[in-house]
Amino acid sequence: MLSVKEIYVSLQGETSRAGLPCTFVRLAACDLRCSWCDSEYSFAGGDPRTIDEITAEVKALGVRLVTVTGGEPLLQAETRPLISRLCDEGCTVLLETSGAHPIKGIDYRAVIVLDLKAPSSGEMDRNHYENLEHLKATDEVKIVIASEEDYAWAVHTLKTYRLETRAGVLFTWASPPPPGSVELKAMPPAHHRISMRELADRLLADRLPVRFLPQVHKVVWGDVATGK
Ligand code: SF4
């Protein structure tokens, strides 16, 4: 049984598949509190559903690109068999994970989208760097960038681990958090926000081998990413 917050169809917003119609399976609960998180509503609640029920609902929605996200999907033991089942059913499966939990052994057919948390998230200490050894060329590493300090860290991390030789690399601009967030970590007050345009200009000037992304769903629908 898995605790499911919502299953819905929207545009993929934060990977190399950005802009494609996609079914999202959003699982409940997260053990991080990133300063710019747009999914606070997934921290609590969730309905119990079996893998059979989730698979049937995904198939009924008719979009075979599927993102398993959260919250943090890897907090639930049945997430791994769910991914395998969706792959068996012919779905292209993306797993979005915070990077704080081991990815070793996840079905090789799935695309792992692994976050590395930059300093302005407030959760940098949770990065599980051993995960980098388990990436495939078809996987993606995503760094969400909110500040000048994040950008400097991301460039350093890119070069230190030669991330582009391990997987695709995404630099995603972080929208400010929705107003009224009470549970999230605070962005360090000494950090300097970077605008979307500044981020694009910087990575072009620095000739970085990364893909720039805004959060596409937010460009279209605004701050809160949800199927409701
Ligand atoms: S952005 Fe951070 S706090 Fe929000 S769901 Fe993802 S890992 Fe959890």
User: Tens digits of per-residue pLDDT, 15-25?
Assistant: 999 999 999 99
Tell which residue, 225, 228, 210, has the closest CA to residue 71. 225
Model confidence pLDDT, tens digit, residues 158-196: 999 999 999 999 999 998 777 777 789 999 999 999 999
C-beta neighbour count of 212 within 10 angstroms: 16
Per-residue CA distances from 84 to 88, 131, 223 (Å): 6, 19, 32
Residue of the nearest CA to atom 3 in ligand 1?
Answer: 33
Question: What pLDDT was estimated at residue 215?
Answer: 80
For residue 28, pLDDT over 80 is answered with: yes
What is d(CA 21, CA 19) in angstroms, rounded to the nearest whole number? 7
Give residue 218's pLDDT band: very low, low, confident or very high (50, 70, 90): confident
Ligand 1 site residues (CB inside 6 A) read: 30, 32-34, 37, 39, 70-72, 98
Tell me the best of 14, 27, 31, 32 to mutate to test the pocket of ligand 1, counting ligand atoms within 8 Å of each CB and taking the most.
32
What is d(CA 226, CA 228) in angstroms, rounded to the nearest whole number? 5
For residue 97, pLDDT over 80 is answered with: yes
Question: What pLDDT was estimated at residue 183?
Answer: 85
Of 46 and 179, which is predicted with more confidence? 46
Tell how far the Cα of 30 is from the centroid of ligand 1, in angstroms: 6
Q: What size, in residues, is the chain?
A: 228
**How much is the pTM?**
0.95
